[in-house]
Amino acid sequence: MSSVQAPPLTKEEIESVLRENRFARICTHNKDGTIHAMPVGYRYLNGQIMFLSLLNSQKNKNIERNNQVSVLVDTPDPLRGVLIYGTAEIDYEHVYELTLKILETSPIIRDRPREEQERITKAYTEAFRGAIVKVTPEHVVTFDYAKDEVWNNFLKIYIQK
């Protein structure tokens, strides 16, 4: 790989990566200062990353103590991603409504009738008692190795036949 940061994504590419992907990794701070990283299903909406988090989860406990988080959304092919440094807010009041917003684009329910989406979301929020975490970006770093000459030469020589 290159000896410097990989080329960045454009604003349009950032939006595309965040809207088209379903899973991210969130990093929070444990009480002892170590990092807690977990995969989450999310939705990018109104400039925020939103996901359901179980009430007693470690990430919720960590966010209540320190709401500074990192979220990584990346793709393996092409190798590119968006790393968000931001502030997390836990919403305990609008769990059903926001879970419906998060799930309505999920392949699991998106093609179902609205009444069925609502029924499934209600069952989901009752089974997985949680809260909605909203991450507001403060600083964003991106990378796109598809635009990196050294990476592409490496792939041509050693990987692609």
Check residue 158 and give its pLDDT. Answer: 86
Alpha-carbon separation of residue 141 from 43, 63, 74, 137 (angstroms): 19, 21, 12, 10
pTM of the entire structure? 0.90
DSSP string, 35-76: EEEEEEE-EEETTEEEEEEETT-HHHHHHHH--EEEEEEEEE
Question: What would the CATH number be for the domain defined by 11-159?
Answer: 2.30.110.10
The full set of domain ranges for the chain reads 11-159
Residue positions counted in the chain: 161
- 86 neighbors 138 (Cβ within 8 angstroms): yes
Alpha-carbon separation of residue 63 from 8, 35, 107 (angstroms): 29, 12, 29
- In tens digits, the chain (161 residues) has pLDDT values of 444 578 999 999 999 999 999 999 999 999 999 999 999 999 999 999 999 999 999 999 999 999 999 999 999 988 999 999 999 999 999 999 999 999 998 988 999 999 999 999 999 999 999 999 999 999 999 999 889 888 778 888 888 75
